[in-house]
Chain A
Amino acid sequence: KTQVEQSPQSLVVRQGENCVLQCNYSVTPDNHLRWFKQDTGKGLVSLTVLVDQKDKTSNGRYSATLDKDAKHSTLHITATLLDDTATYICVVGASFNKLTFGAGTRLAVCP
């Protein structure tokens, strides 16, 4: 059974639009949750990390929420740019050494 489920699997938006990516998980314990951006064929770049039972973070045009009771996180991207085209991966950490990865949401931003 998939322990970290991301939706949608893929998403197409026009430049300038906002979008929301979802992450539901069943991993326990859930020490922290991190969102990564992965450009095609490249490594993972950390966007934000959420730690608290009900947490919110903001990093420029990226903002994220976490609800550990619901085991649910969202990543909001505001005013998308062409460079936002990438795969966004949700990773739940039982500890910093034990990570469970989602399969990602493929985002395409069109002109």
Chain B
Amino acid sequence: NSKVIQTPRYLVKGQGQKAKMRCIPEKGHPVVFWYQQNKNNEFKFLINFQNQEVLQQIDMTEKRFSAECPSNSPCSLEIQSSEAGDSALYLCASSLGQDTQYFGPGTRLLVL
């Protein structure tokens, strides 16, 4: 069973507001992933880290999304200026590297 912790579980923001969510990966897992699951159950990979370094990210993440995984602190994903289309379930996963990804329960973001 996954021990990935995500907070908050639910987040409601107005358009243009910042939205920040956090993830604590499983202990000892150096690789962290962020995914967006929209209302049609479509998953989109956003970004992943190995320790504090970004491994891969998509264009959307580069422009309005920022993410970091500081040492000894939770990882975070922040949307600088929320849009209605950002409403989704944001899933964090962690892994040892070339191994299974373990998913957290997600943060459900609603942008009004």
Interface residues of chain A, those whose CB is within 8 Å of chain B, are: 34, 36, 41-46, 49, 87, 89, 95-97, 99, 101, 103-104
Interface membership of B109, Cβ < 8 A: no
* A43/B98 in contact, CB under 8 A: no
* B91/A43 in contact, CB under 8 A: yes
* B41/A99 in contact, CB under 8 A: no
- In the bound complex, CA of A41 to CA of B106 (Å): 8
Interface membership of B71, Cβ < 8 A: no
- In the bound complex, CA of A99 to CA of B4 (Å): 18
**B79-105 near A? 1/0 per residue, CB < 8 Å:** 000000000010100010111111111
* A96/B100 in contact, CB under 8 A: yes
Interface membership of B2, Cβ < 8 A: yes
* B106/A97 in contact, CB under 8 A: no
**B36-67 near A? 1/0 per residue, CB < 8 Å:** 00001111010010000001000000000000
Minimal beta-carbon separation of A23 from chain B (angstroms): 14
- In the bound complex, CA of A44 to CA of B41 (Å): 12
Write out the residue numbers on chain A whose beta carbons fall within 8 Å of the beta carbon of B101.
96, 99
Pick from A43, A49, A101, A104: contact of B100, CB under 8 Å: A49
Interface membership of B22, Cβ < 8 A: no
* B108/A97 in contact, CB under 8 A: no
Write out the residue numbers on chain A whose beta carbons fall within 8 Å of the beta carbon of B43.
99, 101
- In the bound complex, CA of A33 to CA of B103 (Å): 16
Minimal beta-carbon separation of A32 from chain B (angstroms): 9
* B95/A96 in contact, CB under 8 A: yes
Write out the residue numbers on chain A whose beta carbons fall within 8 Å of the beta carbon of B48.
97
Write out the residue numbers on chain B whose beta carbons fall within 8 Å of the beta carbon of A46.
100, 102
Who on chain A is nearest to B89 by CB?
A41
- In the bound complex, CA of A42 to CA of B45 (Å): 17
Contacts A41-B89, A42-B105; is A95 near B100 (CB within 8 Å)? Answer: no
